[in-house]
Amino acid sequence: MASTRTVAAKRSARKSRARAGDKSIWTERKVRSMRILQIPVLAKLPWLVHGFSAKPGGVSDQGGEKVLNLGYTEWDTKESVLENRRRFQSALDASDLHLISLQQIHSDVIHLFDAAPAELCRGDASATNSPGLLLGVQTADCVPILLVDPKKRTIAAVHAGWRGTLQRILVKAIGKMQMQYKSNPADLLAAIGPSIGGCCYEVGTEVATQFLSQFAEAPEWFDEFRTGDEPNPIQWLNMMPPGHQPPPKNVLLDLRKANRAQLLGAGLRTANIFVSDLCTACRRDLLFSYRKEGPQSGRLLSVIGIR
Ligand SMILES: [Zn+2]
């Protein structure tokens, strides 16, 4: 009887981890009606705060549903966003930390902070070794990446859509951590949060061409690598006159794979990279997706800070 219960408990624990993302690495914390995704290895560090937000909970009204929208959008009020941020920080026991979120512009601009800036900064990554700051990345499909150097007590938060990935923002952020804080990439822990997956992220073949021009291994990140210049063999097989069956314009891009490759290329160890397998477009119950919801989409917030 006792052993049956243990098996059942283990099974249900496995289930809840699976729901949170990667089957063995991610955990989900429920606080009030909010759900926060975390990495146990990072959660163990007493001086560190981290978390990836999800959609449920919060005070924002998105078509009659209460959601935790953590970014300023046209459909939501500033008060609601501020209240959501307050609740999210409180759930992380990080109310006393100063949240720094950037005006994200799909660039490779990285800011190093030793104090909270007086004005909103434009850029897509931030890093610090100062306690009291909470670095944030807002996303609704793009890839949020949190970096931690447990030895030097240094952290970074990176926003990587396809443009940022193409510009190697993650590699550059790690380079800044090496230069500024003497981090060794082999010591770094990296969490790649929920984002649109290779199952759903359609891009034009011109994006594939740009990736191939920058990365030799780019074809591994697409479902079927095409640049749009290939002859279309189906036309010949079907004896269709040319022009009747143009090759499909879109391919599927796996941005997580591309960013994981950048981490490995920068010198991180495989065991220190944690990738969520949650897709924002597939899991609209749990996450926000700009591709699926358009301007009515909310924003997820991924944060990291030093207490
Ligand atoms: Zn998907």
Tell me the two tokens of residue 256.
Answer: 């997580």
Q: Which of 106, 190, 101 is nearest to 142 (CA)?
A: 106
Taking each helix axis from N to C end, the angle separating 255-266 and 169-181, rounded to the nearest 10 degrees, works out to: 30
Ligand 1: centre distance to CA 281 (Å): 5
What is the tens place of the pLDDT at every residue in 75-130?
999 999 999 999 999 999 999 999 999 999 999 999 999 999 999 999 999 999 99
The pLDDT score that the predictor gives to residue 17 is 42
Q: How far is CA 74 from CA 102, 135, 139, 169, 294, in A?
A: 17, 23, 15, 28, 12
Q: Mean pLDDT, the chain, as a whole number? A: 90
Q: How far is CA 196 from CA 162, 185, 212, 269, 287, in A?
A: 11, 26, 21, 24, 10
More confident position, 199 or 234: 199
What is the tens place of the pLDDT at every residue in 18-31?
444 444 579 999 99
Ligand 1: centre distance to CA 196 (Å): 6
d(CA 281, CA 301): 16
Ligand 1: centre distance to CA 278 (Å): 8
The pLDDT score that the predictor gives to residue 224 is 84
The pLDDT score that the predictor gives to residue 8 is 44
**Ordered domains of the chain (ranges, CATH):** 4-201+254-306 (3.60.140.10)
What is the tens place of the pLDDT at every residue in 150-205?
999 999 999 999 999 999 999 999 999 999 999 999 999 999 999 999 999 999 99
Residue 10 pLDDT greater than 70, yes or no: no
End-to-end CA gap in the chain: 44
Q: Could you tell me what percent of the chain has a pLDDT over 70?
A: 86
Ligand 1: centre distance to CA 127 (Å): 30
Residue 142 pLDDT greater than 90, yes or no: yes
Ligand 1: centre distance to CA 23 (Å): 17
Ligand 1: centre distance to CA 164 (Å): 20
pLDDT tier at 246, thresholds 50, 70, 90 = low
Ligand 1: centre distance to CA 282 (Å): 4
The pLDDT score that the predictor gives to residue 226 is 79
Ligand 1: centre distance to CA 246 (Å): 26
